[in-house]
Amino acid sequence: MQSGSNVLIVDDEDEFRETMAKVFRHRGINVDTADGCIEALAKLKSKPFDVVIMDVSMPGIDGIQCLGRIKQRWPAIEVIILTGHASVSSGIQGMEKGAFDYCLKPIDTDELLDKIELAYEKVRITEGRA
């Protein structure tokens, strides 16, 4: 995993968010968290992120709607959608709206870390940081 990547985890489940943040930090990833879209958008305005990991099912503004807002304002940020209940259709809908990829919950941590690395590489190449 490329250290130095800045990842924002957006999920309304506190335990999941904090557990994933701990795993990412252990792997050398700079990570921050948000409990929903409004907090995520505020954090995206305040500091740069390369990759956003976002749950689809959240109260208020759901992950697909939030994805649209992120891609409109920050098109270079890559978003990986998390979807539960084996809802592949939500993942595909996210990809159609500009998500880099999706993962099913429960999360395979190694698979998610691989996707983050690929998304970060894409950001670096796109922005000429390769």
CA 111 remoteness from chain centre: 13
Nearest-5° Cα angle at 82, 80 to 87? 125
Nearest CA to 32 among 1, 12, 53, 56? Answer: 53
Could you read off the pLDDT of 13-66 as tens digits, one per residue?
Answer: 999 999 999 999 999 999 999 999 999 999 999 999 999 999 999 999 999 999
**Residue 23 resides in a domain:** no
Residues in the chain: 130
Domain total for the chain?
1
**Residue 121 resides in a domain:** yes
Task: Identify the pLDDT of residue 71.
Answer: 96
**Residue 73 resides in a domain:** yes
**Residue 78 resides in a domain:** yes
How many Å apart are CA 102 and CA 113, to the nearest integer? 12
**Residue 28 resides in a domain:** no
pTM of the model: 0.92
Task: Identify the pLDDT of residue 127.
Answer: 82
Task: Identify the pLDDT of residue 3.
Answer: 61
Expressed as residue numbers, the domain containing 74 is: 44-87+102-130
